[in-house]
Structure 1
Amino acid sequence: MTRAGSSVAHDRRREIQRRAAGMGIDDAYIDRLVETFYARVRAHPLLGPIFQDAIGDEWGPHLARMKTFWSSVALNSGTYSGKPVPAHKKLTQVQPWHFNIWLGLFRETLHDTAACPEAVEYFMERAERIAQSLQLAMFGLPGLPEAPVE
């Protein structure tokens, strides 16, 4: 990246972080959001067992990874370097309708924890895009025939 490009990216990151801070979104809030949300996921009768099967006793590392993920998503921090699609494609128990439950629980957690309604919508816009992308990667487009196996 050129120096000018680096400066533009830096200015963009600062503007995103300034806007987010104005809605009460910072690393401390992301920490609270992730901890609260995944406590609810673990207690959920449908999602809990799926997550437990996938994560087992590795909740500490998973929560840390989710905090860097959401920091990158919400604050453009650039701290996340994982590959969510391959990780999610391994989850054979997940069905497309599970994403609606996940999104509903996420929205509920945001309503309970966010400083303002704008923060709820800020996160939900991103969460819905992420869920749609993962669903597409995991299940393809509904109604399209699968490619023939040769």
Structure 2
Amino acid sequence: MNTEAIRSAPGRRAEIRAQAEALGVNEAYIDLLVEVFYRRIRQDEVLGPVFARRISDWSPHLARMKSFWGSVALNSGQYSGKPVPAHLALKEVRSAHFERWLALFQATLEDTAPTPGAVAYFMERAQRIATSLQLAMFGVPELRGDRGEPQ
């Protein structure tokens, strides 16, 4: 017989927040991470132009990304967007862009994270998100063409 306790949604949310906070991850850090990361994105020779074609006013995007990462890292429940349809509209994006995004995200974490555990905490989530978006955009990897698009 299974003796695991069933956790309530608020109980699970508190557990996730406590785990994150033990790593130094809180809303203040998420603000810093998003600001530094997207400053680097705008300066990146590959990703900068992709973002520049879509975003002219960065304030709403940064606020949305802080809400998103707060929901992902702290289970805050504050993000209510739909990332898959937004990314499906990006016809110029290829798998290599995701690899570059992840590398830049990891470098930003390594430069700013309050603890080494925070780097792993965010990267695990970032990699899952990137995989999910790539599957939505490009399909099953074995069926991709040379540029990461469905055949």
TM-score (norm 2): 0.89
Opposite residue 20 of structure 1, the aligned amino acid is A
Report the Cα offset of residue 15 of structure 1.
1.0
Kindly, what percent of the aligned residue pairs are identical? 60
Deviation string for 1:7-48 (max 9, x for gaps)? 711011111111111111000000000000000000000000
Deviation string for 1:50-86 (max 9, x for gaps)? 001011x221000000000000000000000000000
Other-structure match for 2:64: 65
1:4-43 superposed matches below 5 A? 8-43=8-43
Structure 2 residue ranges without an equivalent (≥5): 1-5, 145-149
Other-structure match for 1:112: 111
Report the Cα offset of residue 124 of structure 1.
0.2
Opposite residue 92 of structure 2, the aligned amino acid is Q
Opposite residue 118 of structure 1, the aligned amino acid is G
| Equivalent position SS for 1:143 | helix
| Equivalent position SS for 2:24 | coil
Distance 1:132 1:142 in 2: 10
Other-structure match for 1:124: 123
Aligned length: 141
Q: CA distance change for structure 1 residues 91 and 10 in 2, over 3 Å: closer, same or farther?
A: same
Structure 1 residue ranges without an equivalent (≥5): none
Other-structure match for 2:87: 88
Other-structure match for 1:51: 51
1:68-79 superposed matches below 5 A? 68-79=67-78
Distance 2:83 2:19 in 1: 26
Report the Cα offset of residue 87 of structure 1.
0.3
TM-score (norm 1): 0.90
Opposite residue 62 of structure 2, the aligned amino acid is L
Runs of 4+ in 1 over 4 A off after TM superposition: none
Report the Cα offset of residue 144 of structure 1.
2.8
Other-structure match for 1:102: 101
Distance 2:70 2:143 in 1: 35
Deviation string for 1:72-109 (max 9, x for gaps)? 00000000000000000111111111111000000000
